[in-house]
Amino acid sequence: MTLGWTERELARRTGRHQTTIRRWINGRSPIDPDVAAWLAMLAAFVAAHPGPRIVSPGRDASGH
């Protein structure tokens, strides 16, 4: 699941420095367990509740 956030946005939302976020992403530092749990819950919510999709003119929501 991808949230589509930049390193900067994740740093802003978690109150961490962007360098810390980069270390987590690159595997050089373990992610804070509280942040990991929050991200897992957030990703599960987004997966269960996807936002609306733009439908092209002449097509219905099923793509036809």
pLDDT value of residue 51 = 81
- pLDDT per residue as tens, the chain (64 positions): 578 899 999 999 999 999 999 999 999 999 999 999 999 999 999 889 888 888 877 666 666 6
pLDDT value of residue 2 = 74
pLDDT value of residue 62 = 63
In whole angstroms, what is the distance from residue 20 CA to residue 31 CA?
Answer: 9
Residue pair 46/1 in contact by the 8 Å Cβ criterion: yes
Written in H, E and C, the secondary structure of 9-60 is HHHHHHCCCHHHHHHHHHCCCCCCHHHHHHHHHHHHHHHHCCCCCCCCCCCC
